[in-house]
Amino acid sequence: MAALFEVVVFTAGLKQYADAVLDSIDKEGCIKHRLYRESCRFHLGGLVKDLSTLGRDLRKVIIVDNSPHCYLLQPRNAVPIVSFIDNRDDHELLDLIPFLSVIAELENVTEALGQIT
């Protein structure tokens, strides 16, 4: 996926914890940027990930997240996913690869994602 996308992890987790996890799973350096809890905004009683903080064209930004509240500010950029809870048989992200490969070709991902979310 790193060949098709600029991979950014935007987590509501604390930096120390998130870095330990990400360092263990990203041995090849596919993750180009990391944003943590301090980059989130408090909105309507919870943390949200404001994609505008990325400084990227939002027509080209996708957020894959298990919490709809986290992408409340940009729902048309969201690809909802089931929560991961220490399941070694989890394949949610792998199942998204064909879809993400297709959507990578679009000029405006929000048009396509807005129809399915």
Tell me the mean pLDDT in the region 78-84: 91
Q: Quick one: average pLDDT of 48-71?
A: 96
Asked whether residue 37 carries a pLDDT value surpassing 60, the answer given is yes
Residues 6 or more apart from 66 whose CB is under 8 A from it? Answer: 80, 81, 82, 83, 84
Question: For the structural domain made of 7-116, what CATH number should be given?
Answer: 3.40.50.1000
In the predicted structure, residue 116 carries a pLDDT above the cut 70:
no
Separation of alpha carbons 87 and 66, rounded Å: 15
Three-state DSSP class for residue 73 = coil
Structural domain spans, the chain: 7-116
Of the two residues 108 and 85, the one the predictor is more confident about is 108
Q: Please give the span between the terminal C-alpha atoms of the chain, in angstroms, as a whole number.
A: 22
- Percentage above 70 pLDDT, the chain: 97
pLDDT for 73 beyond 80: yes
